[in-house]
Amino acid sequence: MRRHYITIKDIARELAISVSTVSRALRDAYDVNPKTREKVLAKAMELNYKPNFNAIGLVQSQSHHIGVLMPAITNYYFSTVFTGIEQVANANGYSLIVFITNDSAEREQAILQDLSLSSLDGLLVSVSSQADSYAHFEELIRNGIPVVFFDRVADAVLTSKVMQDDYHGAYEATQHLIDQGYRRIAHLAGPAGLTFTLKRRKGYEDALTNNGLPVRSAWVIHSGFSQECGFEDVARLWTLAEKPDALFAVNDRKAIGAMLALKERKVQIGKEVGVIGFTNDPMSQIISPTLTTVAEPAFEIGKLSCELLMKHMTRKNFEAQEVILPARLIVRESTRR
């Protein structure tokens, strides 16, 4: 048999008071006698009463559910962001519903089209790398669903966004390679349409230019984010007559793929070709040589994006904010000559 869950009717019956009085006491309403409130709270604790957010939602037009739409959850970065989101959501009595796009724009749009607007109080989003339109997010906001972007953001949509400092992180990564004596530096970039891909490429190019080094289009390769993509990017670079002596990868997974490709070609990592990534994935400390990287504040990004969403959900006319968190260079063996 299905278990009977304690309701406010059960508390009212036990105390021989009205259901409305119990409801007001639990909401800390001003017109409830303090002694009555104490009795209600004590009885609720004794009976292990838990609020029915679905029932509350019918009255307050709230579901106590937050949606999280992101490309993946199995990699280190997104799982860490999700942990930060979950901490804030749980502390505020919200449950999370996760939607995974597998980095597909079609899947992203299909998910949003199937969403019941009454099922969510807000939505946290990291966009697909394939997306070329964000009109579906603007429509959600027009329909009253607060949306906050994190990491991969839609610049054109007017709402809050939380990101790491992609430009300066990329600049610092490239400057580190230059300071180590590397001069022919290639960039294994992400998909061309993403905001953070553009910012990391800009940081890379500015560091080269400011140090009097040429920016060579043949040494910038746009592809996906996987380890396989990093491996394939190196294969393309090694068909060139003049090969780079350092690689700056858009993330650690691509950097690790690049390192495996270099090992296959008997290239000494660090001594002959320096490699630097971006994320600080745990794998960066396990692979040999260990990978120099730019650490992203993933947990803080999740935490702050959920806190901002709470403000959009609870405050009328809350102004959109753009939060940029600093990245941090971590030097390891892969850039030591």
In the chain, list all ranges with CATH 1.10.260.40.
8-51
As a whole number of angstroms, the distance between CA 184 and CA 178 comes to: 9
As a whole number of angstroms, the distance between CA 248 and CA 170 comes to: 8
CA distances from 172 to 97, 126, 136, 175, 206 (A): 37, 25, 35, 5, 10
As a whole number of angstroms, the distance between CA 158 and CA 140 comes to: 12
Span 253-281, pLDDT tens digits: 999 999 999 999 999 999 999 999 999 99
pLDDT tops 90 at residue 80: yes
CB 65 within 8 A of CB 94: yes
pLDDT (mean) for 91-101: 94
Place of tokens 């992400």: 190
pLDDT of residue 52: 55
CATH code: domain 8-51 is: 1.10.260.40
- pLDDT-derived band at 71 (thresholds 50, 70, 90) equals very high
Q: Which residues contact 19 (CB under 8 A, 6 or more apart)?
A: 8, 9, 12
Angle at 255 between CA 257 and CA 284, to 5 degrees: 100
Span 130-187, pLDDT tens digits: 766 788 899 888 888 999 999 999 988 999 999 999 999 999 999 999 999 999 999 9
In the chain, list all ranges with CATH 3.40.50.2300.
63-164+298-326, 166-296+330-335
Model's pTM, two decimal places?
0.80
Please report which helix (H) or strand (E) contains residue 164, including its range. Answer: strand 161-164
CB 292 within 8 A of CB 176: yes
- pLDDT-derived band at 82 (thresholds 50, 70, 90) equals very high
* Averaged pLDDT score across all residues of the chain: 91
pLDDT of residue 2: 46
Q: How many CB atoms lie within 10 A of CB 303?
A: 19
Architecture of domain 166-296+330-335: 3-Layer(aba) Sandwich (3.40)
Using DSSP bridges, classify how beta strands 147-150 and 185-189 pair: parallel, antiparallel or unpaired: unpaired
pLDDT of residue 5: 64
Topology given in CATH for the domain delimited by 63-164+298-326? Rossmann fold (3.40.50)
Lowest-confidence pick of 99-108, 130-139, 212-221:
130-139
pLDDT of residue 182: 98
CB 278 within 8 A of CB 60: no
pLDDT of residue 60: 47
Tokens of 81: 């962001």
Radius of gyration of the chain (CA): 25
Q: Which residues contact 98 (CB under 8 A, 6 or more apart)?
A: 67, 68, 70, 73, 82
